[in-house]
Structure 1
């Protein structure tokens, strides 16, 4: 007959991130393993959708956890641990994207969007608000040009656009990952869209 989980394992699973960080700082391998178990899949999902390459994403996820555990004594507990780890992962992914060129972005929504609402939420609208249907259709066919235009955005604008339109993450989560106020995220995305419209205006 198999025995159930030990009381210590139950306590570890039930512990908050902050409690696990305290234990990890004291050298607890069990706490390290639990943090890894909690964030391995979300971190991989983020970097994979940013770089669109499984092998590269696996390397980035591993590098993220190496950095997290090497610098865990520098983590400031007044911030959410999830925001800290996603910020590290995001920065590594953005550095990779800078080296290899812009990620593939479609005007018709993120590749992982499955419902009409998700498509609408992740679609980049580069047509002006008063564009007629023909202009709007033409704008939505400029996927290749958008890839180049995104690569020219300022890093913070590019990060926000990638997280919103490639990763499909809500504004509130982007604010946590980028460690900036919600209003700043909205400003970044608004300005990025404006710059994209300007860059692509001659193609419409």
Structure 2
């Protein structure tokens, strides 16, 4: 008698298979999706709203909306792009309702661990810099984040997805639900505004 082969652990399955299981009501599959994406979603949202509590609320709202709308997800698209689209839309709506100021590049102001601070920071310092160079780099990073925070929410989302999340132009267009040409225009304008805002820095 041939022994039964144990199914692979759910953490080893690709997104489409986990989504299919979650659609059938598997709580472990949904928990795996959350575990897989909660950190990148929180990181993106925090960089846009610059407030830990708000970022946590919006991230939680994102996953609730994902759970309630799994039947609307089309497998022809990457799950991560669909997920980021939901997070982006919720965050943009929030930013339109409330003007958000910037803080430092050190991560969430009340991050309780070095890991959580790292997850919500933007690295601008190399390991080979002198203390003075490191200070200058951090000051530059603070100026950059301040400039990003003053961008229109739509520009901010595109520039963060491109340069922080390393998404392709095509993925960004899918996430923000805009034509590819519009995304390229937004990123071009965002870069122009950032250069203008930072022309007196360094």
Large movers: runs of 4+ above 6 Å: 142-145, 195-198
| Residue number in structure 2 paired with 1:113 | 123
Alignment match, 1:100: 98
Count of residue pairs brought into register by the alignment: 167
Look up the match of 1:169.
165
TM-score, normalised to structure 2's length? 0.64
Unaligned runs of 5+ in 1: 1-6, 117-141
What CA distance in whole angstroms lies between the structure 2 residues aligned with 1:175 and 1:105?
Answer: 28
Q: Deviations over 1:48-89 (max 9, x none)?
A: 111111111111111000000000000011000001111111
The alignment partner of 2:74 has SS state of coil
SS in 2 for 1:42: helix
- Larger CA deviation: 97-106 vs 11-20: 97-106
**Within 2, Cα distance between the matches of 1:73 and 1:61?**
20
- In structure 2, the gaps of 5 or more residues are 1-5, 105-119, 127-142, 198-202
Aligned residue among 142, 155, 158 for 1:157: 155
1:55 matched residue in structure 2: 53
Mapped partners of 2:180, 2:174: distance in 1: 8
Which residue of 1 is the match for residue 189 of structure 2? 191
User: Of the candidates 3, 10, 13, which is equivalent to residue 12 of structure 1?
Assistant: 10
Does structure 1 residue 73 correspond to structure 2 residue 83? no
The structure-2 alpha-carbon separation of the partners of 1:77 and 1:88, relative to structure 1 and needing over 3 Å to count, comes to same
Aligned CA RMSD, in angstroms, stands at 3.8
Match of 1:25 among 23, 26, 44: 23
Question: SS of 1:91's equivalent?
Answer: helix
